[in-house]
Amino acid sequence: MDEVFARRDVLDSATLKALCRPSDLAGALQTISQLGVLTATGWLLLQTWGTGWSVVVFMVHGALLNFLYAGQHELSHWTVFKTRSLNEWVGRVFGFVLFYPRTFDQVQHVAHHRFTQDWSRDGELARPRYTLSSYLLWLTGVTYWYTRWRRILRFALGIVTEPYLPEQRHAEFIREARWHLLGYAMIAGFSIYLHTWMAVQLWLAPMLAMKVVHQLQNTIEHLGLPHESNVFANTRSTRTNALLRWACWQMQYHTAHHAFPGVPFFRLRALDALLTQRRGSPPPSMTYWGFQWAVIRAFSKGRTEAEYPDDRAWIGDSIAN
């Protein structure tokens, strides 16, 4: 996605062009390092299974599996590799692992970028407004996984109802969902034939159980910010450490990403610093735990998202709930 969602005078065209250059080397280093650590945690999980250490390894392995979506997200933007076919096929593998088909993800995500915080057109706002219970179910992954599996099954049956999905592409989504189901059925069949629980042990169980870690990033990016078109007001960045920035493919610099989504993940830190310098102020930002505590306070005493205004921020470090 090469569209620009910030004022074009914030960055000159030469600087933006330089920032937008993808790199096969940078993409490969990030991808191989994450898959390498996943291989190591998977091996450790097998070696420690049945001991107390397996609990810790299980949690780390599951969190890293979920953070593959950060990679899929970048691959959907075609910004990880300079070689476009690598973006395509690595993205399809990640989408299969995560129950998040690539073509659907791309189209939904385009709608999210073009119409960020627009209740009627943002693909990520196709939901009822949160209550405390619905927010916690989403945060822990319960409703997240339900909606993912239900959508694949629904698409496979030929039922596409999302208003942000163009009708002329429905056949693609249906075909993609059916290929996914076939792949999952084959894995289940081989597991039964070989009498092994390895797919559950190394993939399904840790990924499902540890979704909450990745949801800390998913929920912080826009919730509680104004429903307006200004990207520097409707998108929040995250203050965290280098390890989590690596795991999340630098998506913590989320305001910079939304302003110029054609800039590859490995240049977002530089882009964030440049935008802060040019604009004279940093973007909205919070820590993971500060944000979650603010949301829980905002939804306490029976309050819901519908009770807060759409035209101003109601979650922030200095905002009292």
For all residues of the chain together, what is the average pLDDT?
94
Q: Tens of pLDDT along 240-259?
A: 999 999 999 999 999 999 99
Residue 318 within a domain: no
Residue 164 within a domain: yes
pLDDT computed for residue 191 by the predictor: 97
Q: Tens of pLDDT along 201-240?
A: 999 999 999 999 999 999 999 999 999 999 999 999 999 9
Domain count, the chain: 1
pLDDT computed for residue 7 by the predictor: 58
Q: Report pTM.
A: 0.93
pLDDT computed for residue 318 by the predictor: 79
Q: Tens of pLDDT along 17-56?
A: 999 999 999 999 999 999 999 999 999 999 999 999 999 9
Q: How many residues does the chain have?
A: 321
Residue 313 within a domain: no
Determine the distance from the C-alpha atom of residue 179 to the mean position of all C-alpha atoms in its chain, rounded to a whole number: 22
Residue 8 within a domain: no
**Helix 84-97 crosses helix 24-48 at what angle (to 10 degrees)?**
20
Residue 314 within a domain: no
Do residues 285 and 236 make contact, with C-beta atoms less than 8 angstroms apart? yes
Band (pLDDT 50/70/90 cuts) for residue 8 is: low
Residue 4 within a domain: no
pLDDT computed for residue 12 by the predictor: 84
Q: Tens of pLDDT along 142-164?
A: 999 999 999 999 999 999 999 89
pLDDT computed for residue 192 by the predictor: 96
Question: Whole domain around residue 220: which residue ranges?
Answer: 13-307
Residue 223 within a domain: yes
Residue 3 within a domain: no
Residue 3 has pLDDT above 70, yes or no: no
